[in-house]
Amino acid sequence: MQKDQNSEEQIQTEDVANAGETVSSEKIAALEAALEEAKASVLYVKAEGENIRRRAMDDIDKARKFALEKFSNELLAVKDSLDAALNVGNADVESYKNGVELTVKQLSAVFEKFNIAEISPLGEKFDPNKHQAISMLENSGEPNTVISVLQKGYTLNERVLRPALVTVAK
């Protein structure tokens, strides 16, 4: 009877061990499937990130390439006015002067539209961030004051494109 009981216990222990093996192999299969799914998900996310990066680079390249398109289109009208002035057959100095004045107004309107402003510092204190001193002259005025402007400067959205060339009082 003891033998029967021992062999019965042994059979039950083997059944439990086999069941554990079955459960663990099922668990392993499930974990392997989850791992494969996670790998596929990582590859998908990586590919999607690469696509987003590539699209962003293309957008940046297009923005660089066509950034001046609106400005260029506005300047074409100014160029047309200059060409028309050159094609006039019988014109006197006064008509040329009027045409040039109109063209300057047209160009100034384009500059204003795109936030390009003149730096005309006559009588102002010398500012090395906006002005470039060409020479210094004796003057009865206040020292370090701009007494003449040789060439106007320009800013684009408050950033200096070209400093004004000036003469400064000693």
Give the pTM. 0.59
Q: Which residues contact 121 (CB under 8 A, 6 or more apart)?
A: 127, 130, 131, 146, 149, 153, 164, 166
The predicted-structure confidence for 5-27, as pLDDT tens digits, reads as follows 555 555 555 554 555 556 688 89
Give residue 97's pLDDT: 84
Nearest to 78 by CA among 113, 122, 121: 113
Give residue 36's pLDDT: 94
Residue 82 reports pLDDT greater than 90 = no
Give residue 14's pLDDT: 56
Distance, first Cα to last Cα, the chain: 125
State whether 49 and 38 are in the same domain. Answer: yes
Torsion on CA atoms 64, 130, 73, 87, rounded to nearest 10: -140
Distances (CA, A) of 7 to 17, 18, 21, 35, 72: 15, 16, 21, 41, 97
Give residue 7's pLDDT: 56
**Mean pLDDT value of segment 42-59:** 94
- Residue 169: which pLDDT band, with cuts at 50, 70 and 90? confident
Residue 44 reports pLDDT greater than 90 = yes
Residue 3 reports pLDDT greater than 60 = no
State whether 3 and 26 are in the same domain. Answer: yes
State whether 43 and 88 are in the same domain. Answer: no
Mean of all residue pLDDT scores within the chain: 83
State whether 86 and 76 are in the same domain. Answer: yes
- Residue 45: which pLDDT band, with cuts at 50, 70 and 90? very high
- Token pair of 131, please? 């002005």
Nearest to 130 by CA among 141, 143, 146: 146
* Domain around 133: 116-170
Quote the number of domains for the chain. Answer: 3
State whether 56 and 10 are in the same domain. Answer: yes
State whether 107 and 142 are in the same domain. Answer: no
pLDDT higher at 112 or 65: 112
Ramachandran bin of 144, using left for φ above 0, alpha for ψ from -120 to 50, beta for the remaining angles: left
- The alpha carbon of 7 is separated from its chain's Cα centroid by a whole number of angstroms, namely 81
Q: What is the CATH number of the domain that holds 146?
A: 2.30.22.10
Neighbours of 71 (CB within 10 A): 13
State whether 44 and 20 are in the same domain. Answer: yes
Give residue 127's pLDDT: 86
pLDDT higher at 102 or 93: 102
Residue 46 reports pLDDT greater than 70 = yes
